Structure 1
């Protein structure tokens, strides 16, 4: 018999409208016994059933909803249906050779991320309740989705907020964790064991393709290049020259290797710099480019640091705008959920005003559709991507 949790009057309205989280502050009491990780039932103050999910009272997010059907069991068949639904959706909306296979709450499996790199899969468990089902998920990936190997990248700090240790390693027999993928016609070496996130930033797939049209015969500067994804797309699109910058020597080495893999090393170069420092200097020197790309890491991962993030985004966009030739293009992004779209838009506008340049919007995009945005769970919306002409 599942333990039943009851919410305070006036609480749980978002959950009743489909949001997948119940916070500890919303819970008035419970009937029965439970252990963290168990599936429990959730009811509002009138004892109307809302849904059921797994409990972890060590987390501020106490319950993560798995189903709204009181009769649906959380078992192998449940995960089979969820994984199949996620896969069928992606086959319709994106190139699935490499993609995010499952995006947690937005695919109705809270706390679980699965990325697919050709025939190899990377899993990330962000919550205690999901850890109990990892073996089932691995079995399904192998038996029904042709996984040649599955690797775990649960080496993320958010697990510690759940009272869990960070962990990584093989969930199947060991395999070579350096995998080669092709995206938008660009080849990449992906290190799924030690690379950022699960090895690669899949969420910018369609945005990387969107820059092709502005990069032909252009001189391009790509800041925060990481392993070179935007820079390589610019090169493949026919850029005259591309310079990618990153503060990490390891990332620069990998980006250089990727340029060699694509046979464009003559036009696509990489240098190790702190973008803030070097752009400040290059603005003074009067350097100009046809296209400037800004894809920084998230400057804020909480509400408490938004003000400093705004300053960071404004400063880097100000410097980037100043380096664009008249009639050239600025590509700028924010991957922070807490930097909401209006705030990001206003910050770029302030930077353009200070630079005394006019921005003409060419395109606005979000994360690629294999990272779907759930409208009743705004946490799933985080990536903002603009292309502007700078006049």
Structure 2
């Protein structure tokens, strides 16, 4: 990619020197390098106000994050060689971590490839490109993946809403092989059918795998509620551990059909029930019916997608946890998650505690989980540490208040 200079204002290089990789539009010296002159995805060399060279990156003048730094070595510009090197490094980590080839292979900034996500299902790769710069590199990205992994199938899951923010078209396209339909992956002792071209995200949520396994250490729970269950990984794990009954809640009929099929696949169908509808409405109906569960699992989609949604999204998290706690039996376990990177770990815990006070529960935090190691966090980019999962015990003896 042919690159052009992108010059920063005075003292705006400090975050980049500390390791961050994003440049915001208000940090650019637009007199020296007018953003209007840049094309979306344009390769740039990021330069401090006094001329210090900072790195190779790419720009998008129409985005608040107007540039992303990709390489800090002047001799290593963005191109085929760099992409192959980064993919190989990503693969080496996963091969250390996993026996079976089912994992997130590339995780954006965490793997030095901002704007690129690749999930691996054996010989099938599901690829998401979310930035204009990486979109320009798409042919080189696909070539690097083919060179390093020799897959038989690649699907572009470019239906992520982030593409709209970057001014990119959305769609799902097979670029290698045809759609094989549902494939089977294993998590622990369980088998799940997944559709990489048709499910949520890229078909599976690998980021919660370690947290789902962690619930086993708390032993079997007799009655379990799995809210926003998708294909049932949390609840079926609880059923396999010995739960007598598991109720699954989701707003998508297709997800609940997947739960039923996966339960049958693992000979657990006799223990499950599915409840279709909006999570808040279903939880209120269960509360009104006097239902109680020994374990309540809340794993909703991100309620805070943009900074301006933070206040309303935080209220939604509190409301959901309040309803979940209202269904929890004394001594029961609440497993609650947020994947909103705009909501910090500390703020999310405060939100759950606020819900507990409203329902007059006393909670003990037993375990705090995060995304798995195939979703590496960039130490200088706190936004990459997005997943929070808390395991909290409701102390026996506290009186639950049914306030909505």
Structure 1 length-normalised TM: 0.95
Shift in Å, 1:215 = 4.8
Q: Pick from 124, 136, 139 the counterpart of residue 135 of structure 1.
A: 139
Q: After the TM superposition, which parts of structure 1 deviate over 3 Å for at least 4 consecutive aligned residues?
A: 31-36, 93-96
Q: Are the structure 2 counterparts of residues 273 and 215 from structure 1 closer, same or farther at C-alpha, using a change threshold of 3 Å?
A: farther
Q: Pick from 206, 222, 241 the counterpart of residue 237 of structure 1.
A: 241
Residues 228 and 244, structure 1, Cα contact 8 Å, conserved in 2: yes
Q: Pick from 172, 177, 180 the counterpart of residue 173 of structure 1.
A: 177
Q: Pick from 367, 372, 375 the counterpart of residue 368 of structure 1.
A: 372
Q: Are the structure 2 counterparts of residues 2 and 97 from structure 1 closer, same or farther at C-alpha, using a change threshold of 3 Å?
A: closer
Q: Secondary structure at the match of 2:3?
A: coil
The CA distance in 1 between the partners of 2:315 and 2:26, in whole Å, is: 33
Deviations 1:322-368 (A, max 9, x none): 21111111111111111211111111111111211111111101111
The CA distance in 1 between the partners of 2:193 and 2:323, in whole Å, is: 31
Residues 211 and 369, structure 2, Cα contact 8 Å, conserved in 1: yes
Gaps of 5+ in 2: 396-404
The CA distance in 2 between the partners of 1:142 and 1:284, in whole Å, is: 54
Q: Are the structure 2 counterparts of residues 279 and 175 from structure 1 closer, same or farther at C-alpha, using a change threshold of 3 Å?
A: closer
The equivalent residue for 2:401 is: none
Give matches, 1:106-117, under 5 Å.
106-117=110-121
The equivalent residue for 2:20 is: 19
Shift in Å, 1:190 = 0.8
Give matches, 1:1-391, under 5 Å.
2-28=3-29, 29-30=32-33, 35-216=39-220, 218-391=222-395
Shift in Å, 1:35 = 4.1
Gaps of 5+ in 1: none
The CA distance in 2 between the partners of 1:149 and 1:241, in whole Å, is: 38
The CA distance in 1 between the partners of 2:227 and 2:59, in whole Å, is: 42
Shift in Å, 1:64 = 1.2
Shift in Å, 1:135 = 2.3
Residues 56 and 128, structure 1, Cα contact 8 Å, conserved in 2: yes
The CA distance in 2 between the partners of 1:36 and 1:248, in whole Å, is: 36
Deviations 1:3-24 (A, max 9, x none): 1121100213212221111122
Number of corresponding residues: 391
Residues 228 and 279, structure 2, Cα contact 8 Å, conserved in 1: yes
User: For the aligned residues, what is the CA RMSD?
Assistant: 1.8
Structure 2 length-normalised TM: 0.92
